[in-house]
Amino acid sequence: MADESATRLFGVINVHKPAGVTSRDVVNVVQKLVRPARVGHAGTLDPMATGVLLVCVGPATRLVSILQQAPKTYRAEFRLGERSDTDDSTGQVQVTSEVGNVPLDDITAVLKHFLGVVEQIPPAFSAVKVQGRRAYMMARAGEDVSLQPRPVRIDSIDVLNYQWPFLDVEICCGSGTYIRSIARDLGERLGCGGLMSGLVRTGIGEFNLANAVAPDDLSLDNIAESVLPAVNVVRHVSEYRCSESEQKLVARGGSFELQKSQFTKRTFEADRSADSDSVSKTPPVALVSDCGGELLALAEIRRQGRRIQPRTVFMSGTN
């Protein structure tokens, strides 16, 4: 791809990560095709895992934090009656014999305790930092790794299939949730041990596996067609269509008077906005072009709902 066309790319590629490669490997595939455009991914998948990996291209790399906070859906296979130092089947596996063929009713009863905002201890083999060092580096070196529990949000866990010792589940959760930890903790509560033996991420926000593209299918000829518009990332927030004059102000980061008729999604509530001297507490607003709907910026509503202030500007020439 020519350098000029690459620098104009602005959006997200929904990639179907295969097993046996790292998330960084997938990013490198995309990077080679879009140089010199910037590239980054939202949400690491372990090498054994497959599924949706969102790769942000160009100015869309500044949307990574928003994508990371989007709800995620997984299909996982748990193997009960076993434990592992990595909490999955890639580690040193120990078969337990205390309990066998646990009734499904017992499993579903325990799974209910994992729902909501709960405290979860990450796996010892994880990227969590301990005094500036990655936990997995310490674990590989044989050092004792003691991680503190962290709050995570788990919206649902549905049993898809169960035939001892295999348990297939679908999990919807928030950012930072370790599916391996759920397998481990389920096994401990049941008294038989448990680990994760398979994982597929089927969705992040509005991006799903059915529309994902394999890395091997990406090429110089089709990479531009695979980049989904950046506005897709912010479909969950209010959208404001900017006139031509407003777009010029956005390009300079200038504020302008709000016109409620130009909101295309949700109704802005003026009484929820901040006063004239403070930052708005309302959700961000996506500023899009009046013709074409291209994402121009993310903005705040200020001065008691009367003005829009661009904060993250994506327009050409401002990145």
Q: Is 207 exposed, middle or buried (CB count within 10 Å of its CB: 0-12, 13-18, 19+)?
A: buried
Amino acid residing at 125? F
Give, to the nearest 10 degrees, the angle between helix 104-111 and helix 179-190: 120
CB 80 within 8 A of CB 102: yes
Q: Are 120 and 181 in contact (CB under 8 A)?
A: yes
Mapped onto helix, strand or coil, the DSSP state of residue 149 is coil
Indicate if 46 belongs to the active site.
yes
Query: Among 142, 165, 204, 172, which Cα is nearest to 77's?
Result: 165
Beta bridge partners of 54: 14, 42
3-state secondary structure of 315: coil
* CB contact set of 143 (below 8 Å; sequence gap of 6+): none
| 3, 25, 46, 271: the active-site residue | 46
CA torsion angle 61 66 67 72 (round to 10)? 170
Dig out the tokens for 87 from the structure.
């909490």
- Catalytic (active-site) positions: 46
